[in-house]
Amino acid sequence: MEISFSTEIGGQTLSLQTGKVAKQASGSVVVQYGETIALVTVVASKDEKPEIDFLPLSVEYQERIYAAGRIPGNYFRREIGRPSDKETLTARLTDRPIRPLFPKGFAFETQVIITVLSMDKVNDPDILALNGASAALMLSDIPFEGPVACVRVGRIDGQLIVNPTIEQRKISDISVIVAGSKTGVVMVEGGGQIVSEADMLEAIFFGHEQMQPIIAIQEKLTASAGVEKRVIVPKENDPELVAKVDAAARQRIADTVKIPGKADRSNALSALKKEIFEGLGEEYTDRKKEVSAIFRDLEKTVCRDMILKHGHRIDNRAFDEVRPIACEVGLLPRVHGSALFTRGETQVLGVLTLGSGPDEQRVETLNGDETRSFMLHYNFPPYSVGEVRRLSGPSRRDVGHGSLARRAIEKVLPSKEDFDYTIRLVSEVLESNGSSSMGTVCSASMALMDGGVPIKAPVSGIAMGLVTDGETTVVLSDILGDEDHTGDMDFKVAGTAEGITALQMDIKIHELSRDILEKALDQAKHGRLHILGKMQEAITTHKAEMSPYAPMIYTLQINPERIGEVIGPGGKMIRAIQAETNTQIEIGDKGIVKIAAVNKEEGDRAVQIIQDIGMDPEIGAVYEGKVVKITDFGAFVQIKPKTDGLVHISELANYRVKQVTDVVKEGDMIKVKVLDVSKDGKIKLSRKALLEDTKEEKPDQG
């Protein structure tokens, strides 16, 4: 049976339809907004996997190029290989709000697949993904404590708007995706052009208000379908075993978690767990996994009680206290900029590389081919957490953390008119114990300044946490990895001294109130400003000079009609110039030439050659040219390819010349000055003008 409900959001119709396609799935929904359409399916296996101790949920988002009426540009002409960054980020964006809404102990492998079928180039399909995933889960037999919905919020000329179009987003000073339930916010992802905490909070809860009609149609759709949910009986630990572990371990865990140092604390807890298990006796030798789960739950309870009941953190910091910070710049002599940011046991090396136009990243998207002149790549090697792991390409987490840091930094970058470089930042996480992504923001900001990039302001970032039992709520600044694991929220906020540039919030509880978010943003601001102060002890502004190893960029304008002459047949001329001057040259359709040179001498030489070829002669300019033709009244001199001028016999020398050949012959190379360029392009040249300060002897007429 086909069922469909729709609502108006941001002046366009959003519809949810089920019962027509993909009926073998546990739940399926076709989501349409404008002419952008996505199919969202969810399937959960019939067989439980009781041996696993995590939620076996995977979310896949895939954009089909046919959705935009195009054929893939690769050799195979089909979608192949790893997901794009956009696909990875949207999959994570969908996963994060729905994951906390599965029941505890749910051990049925579950897969959500979002496939973009149509793209109108007006409405981004990413916001359809979560709305469709929630609806598909609600329609399935999978237990799910939804619905949730999401919208994108923008702001143009001070006016908040819901689901801005792709074009509107280019002029919006806020762009934030907000996911929520009927009563609260569950996820935030986005940023702004240095906006205040109050404005960001207003945007978040404007989004929460605007998403309510989407939640309403999900409820209508679910009621109409009338699907019965699976009954999941939560696994309960043996009360007797729980009591034994609690009695033996609670106080010792409380003492152990206070050990300073992540590695020492982890090793001590592992040793304690082993000791507790062995102390239980032979009766429990075959229940090691159950004991481990009980111990892990107890450890979490102890850490939370320490905060909620005893008022202190595991490292004895105040709730709003940031760990000790050390900053250093200019560590690597041959790179274009570098910085080391250390906060507690989190340490990140930021490295800057500058390039030219050909170094820009080229990406095939549903909107067409795009070029990106700013990249930030995040690397998280296993040694940063004391582990051994196979090295491979960037993980979803790596892509997500890099994207968050990129959004935080890009708002303060200079315009292309002011700084015409391609910028690549790489974050090498050397140690990690909480919020390496915000450490990335700090090290990247300092690396840019170290490299002489004129950023608008330095950017810092902080990760906020939350612990709540429903009655008592504590917001934590600069959370440790253990606090992230045992807490209820991971809220990352980055920005300048004046406001927010990026933020990301995930929670493990069902929702957050406005009061909690407001407190978290305010506390984050104080922490961010403290971190900025520490960064500015190392470097206060961008360096006046760039690295001597950074490329020099020259920009000049040539006559567009002469582009072909500069390029030459089959690119022969431009390749020769690049080879001779050791430069990279890029020529635009309008005659704008960009030259990237390793040093000034080579850059100046390339500029001169291109000016000689591609620019119209200017009055007063001096050229060295070849005599190509002799006449009774003068000599024609080629001053650049396909450009000749006349040196009249009276302008050949600073004495009276009887015959042109007395002074020059065909094939001679002579220096000449441009006297005039007529409207029809005729060029008058003079050799005499360059000899007026010298005494050239008149040849013997014998």
DSSP E strands: which ranges in 170-264?
174-180, 185-195
Residue 24: which pLDDT band, with cuts at 50, 70 and 90? very high
Do 646 and 590 share a domain, yes or no? no
The answer to the question of residue 207 being in a domain is: yes
The answer to the question of residue 543 being in a domain is: no
Do 251 and 212 share a domain, yes or no? no
Instruction: Note the pLDDT of residue 617.
Output: 82
The answer to the question of residue 668 being in a domain is: yes
> What average pLDDT score do residues 22-37 get?
96
Percent of the chain with pLDDT over 90: 73
Instruction: Note the pLDDT of residue 699.
Output: 62
Instruction: Note the pLDDT of residue 139.
Output: 96
Do 670 and 523 share a domain, yes or no? no
> What average pLDDT score do residues 387-415 get?
95
- Tens of pLDDT, residues 253-301: 999 998 988 889 999 999 999 999 888 888 888 888 888 989 999 999 9
Q: Does position 22 have pLDDT exceeding 90, yes or no?
A: yes
Residue 561: which pLDDT band, with cuts at 50, 70 and 90? confident
What strands, in cross-sheet order, belong to the sheet with 583-587?
552-557, 592-597, 583-587
Degrees (nearest 5) of the Cα angle 297, 301, 307?
150
Do 263 and 348 share a domain, yes or no? no
What value does the mean pLDDT of the chain take? 92
- Tens of pLDDT, residues 442-467: 999 999 999 999 999 999 999 999 99
Do 511 and 564 share a domain, yes or no? no
The answer to the question of residue 99 being in a domain is: yes
Do 349 and 389 share a domain, yes or no? yes
Q: What string of DSSP letters covers 405-469?
A: HHHHHHTTSPPTTT---EEEEEEEEEE-SS-HHHHHHHHHHHHHHHTT---SS--EEEEEEEEE-
Beta-bridge mates of residue 39 = 30, 115
- CATH classification at residue 265: 1.10.10.400
Instruction: List the domain range (segments joined by +) for residue 105.
Output: 3-225
Do 419 and 565 share a domain, yes or no? no
> What average pLDDT score do residues 484-509 get?
95
Do 638 and 518 share a domain, yes or no? no
Q: Which two tokens stand for residue 396?
A: 């979803």
DSSP E strands: which ranges in 605-668?
622-631, 634-640, 643-648
Instruction: Note the pLDDT of residue 280.
Output: 86
The answer to the question of residue 133 being in a domain is: yes
Do 490 and 581 share a domain, yes or no? no
Domain final position from 167, 200, 225: 225
The answer to the question of residue 697 being in a domain is: no
- CATH classification at residue 493: 3.30.230.70
- Rounded to an integer, what distance in angstroms lies between the CA atom of residue 426 and that of residue 443? 10
Residue 700: which pLDDT band, with cuts at 50, 70 and 90? low
Q: Does position 701 have pLDDT exceeding 80, yes or no?
A: no
Q: Does position 695 have pLDDT exceeding 80, yes or no?
A: no
Do 435 and 303 share a domain, yes or no? no
Q: Does position 702 have pLDDT exceeding 50, yes or no?
A: no
Domain final position from 538, 571, 605: 538
Q: Does position 208 have pLDDT exceeding 60, yes or no?
A: yes
- Rounded to an integer, what distance in angstroms lies between the CA atom of residue 291 and that of residue 284? 8
Instruction: Note the pLDDT of residue 576.
Output: 92
Q: Does position 566 have pLDDT exceeding 60, yes or no?
A: yes
The answer to the question of residue 701 being in a domain is: no
Do 15 and 143 share a domain, yes or no? yes
Do 519 and 591 share a domain, yes or no? no
| Segment among 154-158, 576-580, 621-625 with least mean pLDDT | 621-625
The answer to the question of residue 195 being in a domain is: yes
Instruction: Note the pLDDT of residue 698.
Output: 64
Domain final position from 516, 538, 560: 538
Q: Does position 642 have pLDDT exceeding 80, yes or no?
A: no
- Tens of pLDDT, residues 504-558: 999 998 888 899 999 999 999 999 999 999 999 999 999 999 999 999 999 899 8
Q: How many domains does one find in the chain?
A: 5
